[in-house]
Amino acid sequence: MALHSAWKARECCWSFIRALHKGSAASSTPQVPEHTQLSWILSCMVRLPRLQHLHQWKAKTAKQKHDGTADLLTYPVLQAADILLYKSCSQSTNVPVGEDQVQHMELVQDLAQSFNKKYEEFFPVPKSILTSMKKVKSLRDPSAKMSKSDPDKLATVGITDSPEEIEAVTDFTSEVTYEPAGRPGVSNLVALHAAVAGLPVQEVVRRSAGLDTARYKLAVADAVIEKFAPIKREIEKLKLDKDHLEKVLQAGSAKAKELAHPVCQEVKKLVGFL
């Protein structure tokens, strides 16, 4: 989800900064403890079977041979806290999500409504915003979503990947068509191409007439490279300015704290902690 993704990106940046320092000078990562505090309060309002029936939990624990940990189980509650904590922001009431996160957003909505019913009308009930490309699928297995945790590096495309690394996988049949049921591999490429080019799927197929799928792979790679190039250049530039990154992260943390603290304090008052 949007706010949680931003929080995770902040943590990744700090990991990078600590690595640059190669020491403990940057070890005191700025924290907003209200996230985990609200998460614990919300976890007291959700029943175990509800979390165990979420698709993400079942899929991930199946891969781990049903050895999932408690933090993985309660991760959607932390997501809910990440969103509801910033109830005064538009990003908290209108949340862009992928199709795979719709269930988690339903949990966020239910938690907000349950809290409001038990205490008072406090949290706005957020709405999900789905884009035209509701799920980015794996380049190795188009029946699954693309995931940064996938051990197969050829299944994903990273913003900071080199042009040589941005390669796609398809079914190698002769022409480019969009048939998700019959040709999921090439259809996944068409959907990805449409997303990065900002074009309807039908227009991408029309423009690709005459290309076999081997050449079409290269066309998709070129489109992805062109889309990511300015973002990658900006990331590389920022990585050279550690002081600026630290200032931005510290300022962002302070601003988040400024917004989150009064909300969390009010929640604590409502539930009887203060």
- Residue 146 or 100, more confident: 100
CA distances to 97, 115, 117 from 47, in Å:
24, 14, 16
Q: Give the pLDDT of residue 54.
A: 92
Task: Give the DSSP letter of residue 123.
Answer: S
pTM, 2 dp: 0.70
pLDDT category at 85 given cuts 50, 70, 90 is very high
Angle ∠(190,193,199) on CA atoms, nearest 5: 100
* Residue pair 83/101 in contact by the 8 Å Cβ criterion: no
- Which run of H or of E encompasses 240? none
Residue 263 backbone phi and psi in degrees, to 5:
-65, -45
The answer for residues whose C-beta is within 8 angstroms of residue 8's C-beta and 6 or more apart is none
Mean pLDDT score, 198-225: 90
Token code pair at residue 249: 């992260």
d(CA 214, CA 109): 45
Give yes or no for residue 18 having a pLDDT over 70. no
Which residues are part of the catalytic machinery? 60, 145, 148
Give yes or no for residue 204 having a pLDDT over 80. yes
- Which run of H or of E encompasses 129? strand 127-129
For 155-198, the pLDDT digits (tens) are: 677 777 777 766 555 455 578 888 888 888 888 889 889 989 99
Q: Give the pLDDT of residue 29.
A: 39
- Residue 118 or 66, more confident: 118
Q: Which of 169, 170, 92, 100 is nearest to 134 (CA)?
A: 100
Delineate the domains of the chain, giving CATH numbers in brackets.
33-133+258-271 (3.40.50.620), 153-234 (1.10.240.10)
Angle ∠(160,161,162) on CA atoms, nearest 5: 115
Mean pLDDT score, 223-241: 91
- How many Cα atoms sit within 13 Å of 256 on the Cβ side? 23
